[in-house]
């Protein structure tokens, strides 16, 4: 079957890289990039593009009707830090957008849907180290509990309507092709830009704040592997835990210093994102992803830092 893949939120941190990867696999015309904003030139010039606001039900319905996608990736969301500034808007966008896509996917018989969850589904009472797939979950950010509610709805649509929804609880994602958009883990991307531009960086998280992270190349590989896995191999229809690398700002700075010896890091006091980070896991147990679809990350801290700096140097 030839695929028609709709990626909603194509201009974001994941979307930018995913559209390129999917167009490489399926051909440019098979992948429709859609976003609320106009695309960057390379996205516009490399294949079909639609302006889409997930809250505009009629327009979204029209896009499903026009393209009849076989696969849909819904990446549009408000992340943890911005969500705390606009809590109702974050809830509305994250939940209503998901409902529109789930309902239209049932209506138009979309074969597979991907929707990203996050480590933000865990909360202060979840185990902090090697956080398991199933445990106490008491997220206290709007983003976190919108993702947890979304997971429940994805599983519900799978059980009730047979919709083949697949999902990953992404850790913080680090890539050089696109900037992150308003999360708590964004420091781990900003630090590279500032290290190359200014030779210093003021971290909004404290020196010892460990968080689960992943290099974007691994995240894209994981996403495509999950979507390619046979449906009957998947034992989780809420969202899979996924582990990459765990590190602190201090450890990341020490690794950057191996490439840029003069690099200096300092730390801000009283940033609201610190409390969010403190409520999240420090490392993740992704046993189910390993067993069900053979997940293994390729990048560790040194290889991720080396690759980031090499590529970023050429574009900033």
Tell me which residues are annotated as active site.
143
**Smallest distance from ligand AKB to CB 152, Å:** 17
Closest-CB residue for ligand AKB?
183
**Smallest distance from ligand AKB to CB 276, Å:** 7
Q: Does 16 bind ligand AKB (CB under 6 A)?
A: no
Q: Residues 151, 239: contact at Cβ < 8 Å? A: yes
Rounded Cα gap, residues 280 and 123, in angstroms: 6
Tokens of 188: 């781990």
**Smallest distance from ligand AKB to CB 201, Å:** 17
Q: Residues 15, 216: contact at Cβ < 8 Å? A: no
Which residues touch 26 (CB under 8 Å, ≥6 apart)?
Answer: 3, 5
Q: Does 209 bind ligand AKB (CB under 6 A)?
A: no
Q: Does 216 bind ligand AKB (CB under 6 A)?
A: no
The residue ranges of DSSP E strands in 102-230, in sequence order, are: 112-114, 117-118, 165-166, 168-170, 172-174, 200-203, 211-215
Instruction: Specify the DSSP class assigned to residue 284.
Output: B
Q: Does 284 bind ligand AKB (CB under 6 A)?
A: no
Q: Does 183 bind ligand AKB (CB under 6 A)?
A: yes
Q: Does 131 bind ligand AKB (CB under 6 A)?
A: no
Contacts with ligand AKB by CB under 6 A: the residue count is: 11
End-to-end CA gap in the chain? 41
Which of 93, 120, 210, 308 binds ligand AKB (CB under 6 A)? It is 120
Q: Does 244 bind ligand AKB (CB under 6 A)?
A: no
Which of 185, 239, 241, 279 binds ligand AKB (CB under 6 A)? It is 185
Which residues touch 243 (CB under 8 Å, ≥6 apart)?
Answer: 171, 212, 214, 283, 284, 285, 286, 289, 297
Tokens of 224: 């495509």
**Smallest distance from ligand AKB to CB 120, Å:** 5
Which of 119, 154, 245, 265 binds ligand AKB (CB under 6 A)? It is 119
**Smallest distance from ligand AKB to CB 183, Å:** 3
Per-residue x/- track, 20-59, ligand AKB (CB under 6 A): ----------------------------------------
Q: Does 123 bind ligand AKB (CB under 6 A)?
A: no
Kind and range of the H or E element at 257?
helix 249-257
Which residues touch 242 (CB under 8 Å, ≥6 apart)?
Answer: 168, 169, 170, 171, 214, 219, 222, 284, 286, 289, 295
Binding site for ligand AKB (CB under 6 A): 79-80, 118-120, 143, 170, 172, 183-185
């Amino acid at each position: 079957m030839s695929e028609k893949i709709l990626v909603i939120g194509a201009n974001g941190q994941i979307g930018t890289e995913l559209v390129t990867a999917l167009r490489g696999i399926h051909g440019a015309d098979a992948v429709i990039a859609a976003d609320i904003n106009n695309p960057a030139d390379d996205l516009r010039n490399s294949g079909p593009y639609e302006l889409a606001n997930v809250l505009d039900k009629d327009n979204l319905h029209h896009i499903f009707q026009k393209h009849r996608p076989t696969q849909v990736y819904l990446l549009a969301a408000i992340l943890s830090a911005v969500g705390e500034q606009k809590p109702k808007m974050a809830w509305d966008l994250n939940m209503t957008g998901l409902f529109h896509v789930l309902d239209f996917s049932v209506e138009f018989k979309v074969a597979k849907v991907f929707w990203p969850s996050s480590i933000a589904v865990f909360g202060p009472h979840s185990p902090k180290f090697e956080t398991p797939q199933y445990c106490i979950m008491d997220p206290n950010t709007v983003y976190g509990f919108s993702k947890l509610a979304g997971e429940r709805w994805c599983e519900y649509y799978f059980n009730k309507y047979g919709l083949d929804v697949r999902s990953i609880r992404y850790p913080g994602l680090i890539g050089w092709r696109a900037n992150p958009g308003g999360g708590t883990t964004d420091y781990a991307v900003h630090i590279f830009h500032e290290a190359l531009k200014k030779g210093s960086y003021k971290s909004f998280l404290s020196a010892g704040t460990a968080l689960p992270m992943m290099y974007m190349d691994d995240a894209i590989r994981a996403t495509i592997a999950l979507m390619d896995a046979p449906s009957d191999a998947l034992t989780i229809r809420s969202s899979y835990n996924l582990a990459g690398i765990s590190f602190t700002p201090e450890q990341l700075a020490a690794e950057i210093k191996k490439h840029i010896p003069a690099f200096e890091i300092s730390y801000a006091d009283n940033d609201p994102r610190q409390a969010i980070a403190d409520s999240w896991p420090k490392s993740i147990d992704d046993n189910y992803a390993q067993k069900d679809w053979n997940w293994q990350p390729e990048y560790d801290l040194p290889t991720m830092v080396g690759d980031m700096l090499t590529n970023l140097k050429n574009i900033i």
